[in-house]
Copies of this chain bind each other. A is one copy, B any other.
Amino acid sequence: MARRSDHSRDQLFELMVAAAQEIITEEGIEGLTARRLAAAVGYSPGSIYNVFRNLDGLIVAVNSRTLDRLVEAFSAIPMTGTPEPDLAALLDCYLAFEEQNPKLWSALFDYDLREGEDWPDWYLAKIGQLFAMAERVFVPIYGPQPTRQSRIAIQTFWAGLHGITSLARSGTLKTVASETPTTLARHLARTYLAGLLASASPEQ
């Protein structure tokens, strides 16, 4: 039993990423095991390692596609030029995406690579794209060229947002916070932006 050539290497890659995505979508990343994926694609466990260095490589591939979809969703948001509604729109898009893809989202942000593995550079660059999209919100404040201040602003806001949603996911927030993540996130957006405008105003 060998050398079937039912699929090319590229087809096999596609097949496995698609199957992995489906498993994660339905059962979460804990459901993704080598034997389970092998059964799903009709190959043996060993074959996975002909295509990916290890399971982390597969997860990187799945996450990469999720990131692509997120970038796409972000880029579809028109900027009005007024920071408040633009930030709100970005926020709503972010929260909606997370709500519609909870398990894929967890794989994206709650999963740590095994010891010794690192996110590849092209993967991190993709996250950079996400920030570039988001940074458009601050153009009215900092101008069209990204500056140190505008980068700090978007990174801080996004990290803050990530904190709210990740604590909500882990269940920590639920018992400590009386409000929904969405409420907290909107509050953060409004308040943080107000603070930015206050700091960037002529008086100071």
Contacts and interface: CB of A to CB of B under 8 A. Distances in A.
A140 interface: no
Given A166-B166, A195-B195, A199-B194, A128 B176 contact: yes
B176 A127 contact: yes
B195 A190 contact: yes
Contacts of A192: 188, 191-192, 195
Contacts of A100: none
Contacts of A68: none
A131 to B, nearest CB: 6
Interface in A102-120: 109-110, 112, 115, 118-119
Nearest to A196: B191
Contact of A119 (B162, B171, B193): B171
Contact of A173 (B159, B176, B184, B188): B159
What secondary structure prevails in chain A residues at the interface with B? helix
A159 B164 contact: yes
A164 B170 contact: no
Interface in A42-75: none
Given A191-B195, A194-B195, A195-B191, A184 B167 contact: no
B30 A115 contact: yes
Contacts of A170: 109, 112
A156 B178 CA distance: 11
Contacts of A110: 112
Smallest CB-CB A-B distances: 9 pairs: A163-B163, A195-B195, A160-B160, A191-B195, A194-B195, A162-B163, A159-B163, A124-B175, A159-B164
